[in-house]
Amino acid sequence: MSKFKELLQQSFKSNDTEEWLDVHFTRPIGLVFALLWNKLGIHPNVITVLSIFLGIGAGYMFYFRDLTHNIMGVLFLMFANFCDSTDGQMARLTGKKTLIGRILDGFSGDIWFICIYAALAFRLMDQYIPFTDTKWGMWAWLLMAVAGILCHSPQSSLSDYYRQIHLFFLKGKENSELDNSQQQHAIYEEEKKKGNLIPQLFYYNYAKYCRSQERRTPQFQSFFKEYQTKVRQGINLDAIKTKFLDGSRPLMPFTNILTFNTRAICLYISCLIDKPWIYPLFEITVMYTLYIYMHRQHEKLCHSLSKEMSSDT
């Protein structure tokens, strides 16, 4: 039992960035699967592919209005999430990390939710808008597009960015995936010269992904640039690093809320009670409000620390 707890701790990115539900439910189950599948010689990439099919299956089940199909949708999405946790834990414990794995892991969750949003739009089209005698029709697609493209996507990407930033200051670059767009574009150019098509496509899109995160965080970019410059000059910034972590740590629960568990629970409830419109409205109102708060607080933190660094020199 103590060995399992030790392995479980090793499979975490950090205690700061792990959500309570993941620590006590998702990660332990994921680790059991990881140990089993590693013993059977199954590669993490195979598990990621399995999660994609489970996520697609969940979307299909959520199209139907009866309880049986929706319970199956809940189970499929839960197992997709277990698989997503498993492949990451397995890769960290065994070192089985590949470019294909990064590519698959990067868009697996996107595929799940594209299928889910499409299924909910089809499901809503013939239902009546609450408190009216008008059917949703094509308005269902607009609702899902706003919830998925304008809310869900930026929330998830910025939450992931803030977690990687926190991991960088907490555990160093080697334990973080904090990348910048210029470096990723340079890798893309190298792969382009070599004629490697798949790496080209990955790094081109990954550079765009990083650029979108950077555009939304001007105060952090300014702070981080100055921080790295002073570190290269040999200036001791341990106090700034500690203050950043102290300010960033209270925002980590928001990054967790804005990724999977909270929206999945809302999705499950809204589908099981056959009111699927609740989920996108929750996304657009509650989740987007939390996103705005998290973003403003993080930028405010970076701005204040930039001023402190400047005043100390």
**Is the model's pLDDT at 151 over the cut of 80?**
yes
The residue length of the chain stands at 313
Compute the average pLDDT of residues 23-46: 79
So what's the pLDDT on residue 98?
A: 64
**Is the model's pLDDT at 313 over the cut of 60?**
no
Residue-wise pLDDT tens digits, 65-105: 999 999 999 999 999 988 887 766 776 666 666 666 666 67
In terms of pTM, does the model score above 0.85? Answer: yes
Half-sphere exposure of 275 (CA within 13 A, CB side): 9
Determine the 3-state secondary structure of 229 from DSSP. helix
- For residue 203, with 0-12 CB atoms within 10 Å meaning exposed, 13-18 middle and 19 or more buried, which class applies? buried
**Is the model's pLDDT at 154 over the cut of 60?**
yes
Determine the 3-state secondary structure of 18 from DSSP. coil
Q: Residue 16 — pLDDT band, cuts 50, 70, 90?
A: confident
Distance CA 310, CA 12 (A): 35
Among candidate residues 146, 147, 46, 145, the one with its CA nearest the CA of residue 100 = 46
- Kindly report the number of other CB atoms within 10 A of residue 21's CB atom: 15
Maximum alpha-carbon separation in the chain: 69
